[in-house]
Structure 1
């Protein structure tokens, strides 16, 4: 009888495990976790994902390019859960994604990961009650600084919350939004130390720091750089404690550590000389104040799941808190490593909460990400040519809004790239993304200029133009191609201009259309001011779909394989992608 009871209990546990992990979007109802791969030594997927598969864990890996990509995949239903930052929840809220927060990932006790306070030198405090703006006007700010590092503790939005709250917005139409914000800060504070890069462009960054030099005047070296003694959270506290500034905007735990407010810690400043400034203009002492007035709380990282899988994910994440998981070489340990929660306590939420309700419990956080801008609002319009492109653009717009990118991005859609270039030329849009085949034509015909390009260190992923011939052709060098039949992916594209430039600069010293006996150049039929005879000559041997000339790299390869051409000029990456099709 005892054996029967044991067997029944084991069967019951197995059924529960299958039920918990059987509502996912993967094979056989497996839960799909979206993993953002780390860099260098922090790469985890190749090591741990196979363990999930080998041990029938009920969990499958899906690699996302970043956390917002994981959110997008959740919205499309192709993944079930992942780990996200509170900023990502803002994006989920704005995009109206139906997900639930199931677990918090805490690495120490405390309701929030970070709490932010305002600390002032008591010398600037008035005798009576006043507003925060009146107290801080014409004082010196010790700013924690800005950084290009997306792993830092505070986003620019949170780091700039205090100044945005007290300054009067500047909306000068002749200035960029960034300069308007800096100008408003410069006019409100007498001096400041705002170290680190204000802009990614080093030249423009130096110009603004020179123009608004009072915002660097309180720095230790006046260089306003990220290596300044007063840069960062502890640097800003040093700026305050050493008398260089009057107010700073630090993390609460940094204040408590710096001023020795924790037991067995060394004080680097006298807490009696400083006070917490509250949002209503009142103030509180630093010492003997375990719960000071807070301005902002930043929540912990969280596990987020699709609504259908939320209960299963909550149980699964909670099971990873077992102390043995941190050293477990089996699938639970692998999953904990993939989610980077080995050292975290996964606190389950009961009940699970939607992002809006979860963030509402963090003082000031949603408000910081809901600030209004200038009126009329400014924006950059990106022209797209398909529903997929427009969806990606809208996701990029959401991401930019969350992380404080200004001006915000808007998305338009036109039937073709050519229409997009016309729209940019006429001022209807500002930006269009296109492949390198458009580079010459866009600058020549539509008065646009390139300002950003994608690059990769991996050669076979670049648009390197290569001449492909059949193995038995006995063609071994460019000069052997004289009088041969050539096919290009499109007229006026990267391959066309690369070959034309090579011929004009090489010993061949020949015009492209004279060097080859026959040329297929799709797209010339749409070009401006091209005679019918030339169009006929450069399209007569191209692949056709009815009356339409087919273009593209795969069509160029097909022409070579089918014997319509002796050489095809396409990119190295395209050959690797399409060669298996022939």
Structure 2
């Protein structure tokens, strides 16, 4: 062979070998899987998904909520997640250049439609409305208060077109009422059914104040969400049957109501579309002119992805969807992981025999499709988020106690803004509850969330006022409110026959904290009510200590801050069985930790009080039902079979869920406080209504419950912003009167003295109590 040809062949063979080797490397190299954000509660379903599609090249990353997911994608700790348009807006606000939209989740029956729905305005031709400015003083029909197509979209754009702003300034009122005032004065008659605010009494009050906003409803006195002139087609009935001038609804409803896709009903020609730019078009399938088009839910990813990565990820999503379609779970439903992990569904309002489909953007298009560009294509949908109501320069300033709590507060700020809750939330950092109380008192902050005892103290010393209470979890859904049940717990192995509660006398007691109503005030109140202890406040604590044989652990009883307010406490006796940081009572490694009002004391808090029982140090523990069930037993660190309830009649119950029948009284839950004074009346109402709206939207059962975990642990940290075990907020006025539970025992008064005590004998008793406390 010619040497030149031989060398050429060798080079060619080497090149081919190199290509084959490189190809082999690519083929056999394991590419890092794409990381999908999954809520921690659905991680098991994600495992089911990966088991069903083992070669999906996807793995799941546990996230607390959608805000956490957006954070993880921005930090390269996750790669993609399904988000609603409102969460995409949050992502844009979070890191403007950090995200891209790669795919949409479309309903199968509308898979060729670029938008989920198109809000439209239908006008009666005889009304003479020929421009946007002609709408003032007209009769207007709406799908419902606060709904997208019939409320938020038209009014955000009317705000944007300067039709309403001047009216907003016509009243000094909370933001919600400013909106109602402006709209009430803009339109002559309206049907705006539904709850205007989450609170029923306030809702009724506002509807009586602005009756013209319900005047076109079928039942103006109720103006409820299910009014026949509400909803997409109901707004059109309002237009055609009540002589209204304009109806705000969506295109699908117009097609269905007027039968535009078959034989239009008689009178269709009497109506036309009013377009966003003020022009008009006849009602037909080809002349849609929407005010804003709601985008589909979509998969958001990181802008770090290359075009090749985008294509691979889109392929992986399709593979998961296709496999899910092949795995029916009965009754034509999809596997749970399709609905909860990929957020693809065939449930109503979709048809049961059809499944959501994935529409992928071309990779080069996806690289340019940022969240804000995605939202802006449909006639500026972002405007409906950014200008949903009357503009307000004020904000609701939440006082937080550390940087981590501020982080959750800032997440709340974004989540609330994405769901159009106004005024916006701001976060003010302090170091302690006392500093927060002071900042609210001097106007640097607007609200602080406090325990009932701290709330009482803030009201007495800083003139703050409670406006809301947290709603507590309960096994019985019919008994949920702003309270907990105080309970007494003994070991299940306790052989004592408690024929009545006096049998507790001489037993050793565990109380969790002197700041705990369930651990301290409730047993004091019950023992007094049963006449087992008595006399003035200053002596009750001494008598209770003696009732339990001077062998108790009440963490905080010796703390400097407490004796300043309760110098009569027999601290030695109330701390006699505490353990500090030691393994058992009297064996603290650090003596100063004994009886401390924090976790350095082994028997601090509800869990510590139960540990006091398990260690055999105490005989009875006083805690509340929420701490027992919502935290301690739920964590699995302690077993329900180790304990039983002790009732105030001396009976016991092994079923720990019977606390409604076996308790030591109700105690109030945490309270939201703000400034008092007439000059702060509007701000107080804004605080109250804004937080109620946030709870209603982001809390359990809300439309955006998965966006932010409003209640519950925050990255392993407890009770940030609200108590972990709370499930909502309610108006403070609905809270039963608990004040005496605090005032009778936390302040040296004579309100609990028997009538036979003269003021002189009370004074002597108090002095003796103080002397005894000093030497105890």
Normalised to the residue count of structure 1, the TM-score between the two structures is 0.81
1:104 aligns with 2:108: no
Q: Is the Cα–Cα contact under 8 Å of residues 399 and 445 in structure 2 kept in the other structure?
A: yes
Give the Cα–Cα distance (whole angstroms) in 2 for the partners of residues 155 and 245 of structure 1: 15
| Residue 210 (structure 1) aligns with | 208
Q: Is the Cα–Cα contact under 8 Å of residues 542 and 569 in structure 2 kept in the other structure?
A: no
Change in 2 beyond 3 A, CA 1:179/1:470: closer
Q: RMSD across aligned C-alpha pairs, in angstroms? A: 3.8
Q: Is the Cα–Cα contact under 8 Å of residues 33 and 57 in structure 2 kept in the other structure?
A: no
Give the Cα–Cα distance (whole angstroms) in 2 for the partners of residues 91 and 53 of structure 1: 33
Give the Cα–Cα distance (whole angstroms) in 1 for the partners of residues 338 and 85 of structure 2: 20
Give the Cα–Cα distance (whole angstroms) in 1 for the partners of residues 461 and 573 of structure 2: 23
Give the Cα–Cα distance (whole angstroms) in 2 for the partners of residues 196 and 372 of structure 1: 17
Give the Cα–Cα distance (whole angstroms) in 2 for the partners of residues 432 and 76 of structure 1: 31
1:378 aligns with 2:394: yes
Change in 2 beyond 3 A, CA 1:70/1:119: same
Change in 2 beyond 3 A, CA 1:121/1:51: closer
1:282 aligns with 2:279: yes
| Residue 152 (structure 2) aligns with | 157
Q: Is the Cα–Cα contact under 8 Å of residues 136 and 186 in structure 2 kept in the other structure?
A: yes
Please say which of residues 455-464 and 47-56 is displaced more in the overlay. 455-464
| Residue 505 (structure 2) aligns with | 482
| Residue 325 (structure 2) aligns with | 326
Change in 2 beyond 3 A, CA 1:15/1:535: farther
Give the Cα–Cα distance (whole angstroms) in 2 for the partners of residues 14 and 327 of structure 1: 30
Deviation at 1:104, TM superposition (A): 0.6
Change in 2 beyond 3 A, CA 1:372/1:145: closer
The C-alpha deviation readout for 1:287-346, integer Å capped at 9, x for no partner, is 3x6143321011111112345576353221133454x6412369x977534424251221
Q: Is the Cα–Cα contact under 8 Å of residues 438 and 493 in structure 1 kept in the other structure?
A: no
Q: Is the Cα–Cα contact under 8 Å of residues 53 and 320 in structure 2 kept in the other structure?
A: no
Change in 2 beyond 3 A, CA 1:218/1:375: closer
| Residue 472 (structure 2) aligns with | 455
1:116 aligns with 2:116: no
Q: Which has the larger radius of gyration?
A: 2
Change in 2 beyond 3 A, CA 1:493/1:333: closer
Counterpart secondary structure, 2:466: coil
Counterpart secondary structure, 2:514: coil
The C-alpha deviation readout for 1:89-111, integer Å capped at 9, x for no partner, is 11111222733322111122111
Give the Cα–Cα distance (whole angstroms) in 2 for the partners of residues 539 and 485 of structure 1: 11
1:569 aligns with 2:633: no
Give the Cα–Cα distance (whole angstroms) in 1 for the partners of residues 617 and 280 of structure 2: 83
| Residue 241 (structure 2) aligns with | 242
The C-alpha deviation readout for 1:398-452, integer Å capped at 9, x for no partner, is 1111212222211112112233233334443232234567565555555442613
1:400 aligns with 2:416: yes
Change in 2 beyond 3 A, CA 1:502/1:238: same
Change in 2 beyond 3 A, CA 1:209/1:36: farther
Q: Give the number of equivalent residue pairs.
A: 547
Deviation at 1:546, TM superposition (A): 6.1
Change in 2 beyond 3 A, CA 1:276/1:440: same
Give the Cα–Cα distance (whole angstroms) in 2 for the partners of residues 442 and 250 of structure 1: 49
1:314 aligns with 2:332: no
The C-alpha deviation readout for 1:342-361, integer Å capped at 9, x for no partner, is 51221122233331222222
Deviation at 1:112, TM superposition (A): 0.9
Structure 1 stretches lacking a partner, 5+ long: 1-7, 25-30, 38-43
1:387 aligns with 2:403: yes
Q: Is the Cα–Cα contact under 8 Å of residues 121 and 249 in structure 2 kept in the other structure?
A: yes
1:145 aligns with 2:144: yes
| Residue 252 (structure 1) aligns with | 251
| Residue 652 (structure 2) aligns with | none
Change in 2 beyond 3 A, CA 1:406/1:496: same
Q: Is the Cα–Cα contact under 8 Å of residues 103 and 318 in structure 1 kept in the other structure?
A: no
Give the Cα–Cα distance (whole angstroms) in 2 for the partners of residues 410 and 303 of structure 1: 29
| Residue 429 (structure 2) aligns with | 413
Normalised to the residue count of structure 2, the TM-score between the two structures is 0.63
The C-alpha deviation readout for 1:151-176, integer Å capped at 9, x for no partner, is x7659633643554532341356311
| Residue 662 (structure 2) aligns with | none
